[in-house]
Amino acid sequence: MEAEYHPSGFQTTPRYRGVTYTTPINAANEAVPVIDLADRLCGPGGLRHVGEKWVARCPLPDHEDRSPSFTVYPGKGGWFCYGCLHGGDVVELYRLVRGFDQRDAHAAAGHLLLEFGHQPPERPASWHRKQERQKQVRDGLEDIKVRALRRTLYRMVDPLIADDEDAEKAWDECLPLARLWLRTMDGERKAG
């Protein structure tokens, strides 16, 4: 997804839709002024007042700034860096500084709210109902994956087994290993 430039001069990134995604972003934009976050990131004496805007060296980690190119527009609730050509709202600034992925803007908004002492919004009741409706399907899919992994593990161990009693014991011991393997694979997939 490429960033878009708006007539207001701020670079914005496309947002994903959905109540669970936009609710924390909207709450963070309302609760945390961009000037407060910029002041915290730039350090004491980092921001300088120039007319209606504030300027400083860019706090983004991938931009080494020698002259003040980072501009905060408190009246509009936005910021823009003329050196690295990034801009947006308070959530976008926090997301870029803390290294959140673009798809995790809602999580960045939640962390931003917590950092400034605000409570992130609760998920709507519809989200919880959807989780309950989908639980049976998710559990069924996990069981299928566990059975497949259990068979794979057993096939690896089967040539090493001497008698039928050991085979039953090995089959029983493959189940917890398959569940552990599945959790490990899911954790790596979510992290990567």
Q: Domain map of the chain by residue range? A: 4-115, 125-191
Close Cβ partners of 165 (under 8 Å, ≥ 6 residues apart): none
Write out the chain's pLDDT in tens, 192 residues: 444 445 455 555 555 566 677 889 999 999 999 999 999 999 888 899 999 999 999 998 887 878 889 999 998 999 999 988 999 999 999 999 999 988 889 999 999 999 999 998 888 888 889 999 999 999 999 888 888 888 888 777 776 665 667 777 777 777 888 888 777 877 666 655
Residue 72 φ then ψ, to 5°:
-115, 130
pTM of the model: 0.63
Q: Up-side HSE of residue 109: CA atoms within 13 Å toward CB?
A: 24
Close Cβ partners of 56 (under 8 Å, ≥ 6 residues apart): 38, 42, 46, 47, 48, 68, 70, 72
Cα–Cα distance between 47 and 67 in angstroms, integer? 12
- For residue 92, the tally of other CB atoms under 10 A from its CB is 27
- In this structure, the strands spanning 48-50 and 11-12 are unpaired
Which among 93, 75, 73, 102 has a CA at the least distance from the CA of 28? 93
Residue carrying structure tokens 């350090």: 43
Cα–Cα distance between 94 and 90 in angstroms, integer? 6
- What's the Rg (C-alpha) of the chain? 25
pLDDT of residue 1: 41
Query: Which is it for the CA torsion 105, 107, 113, 118, positive or negative?
Result: positive
pLDDT of residue 181: 79
pLDDT of residue 185: 76
The CATH code of domain 4-115 reads 3.90.580.10
pLDDT of residue 163: 66
pLDDT of residue 164: 66
Tokens of 148: 């497949």
pLDDT of residue 191: 58
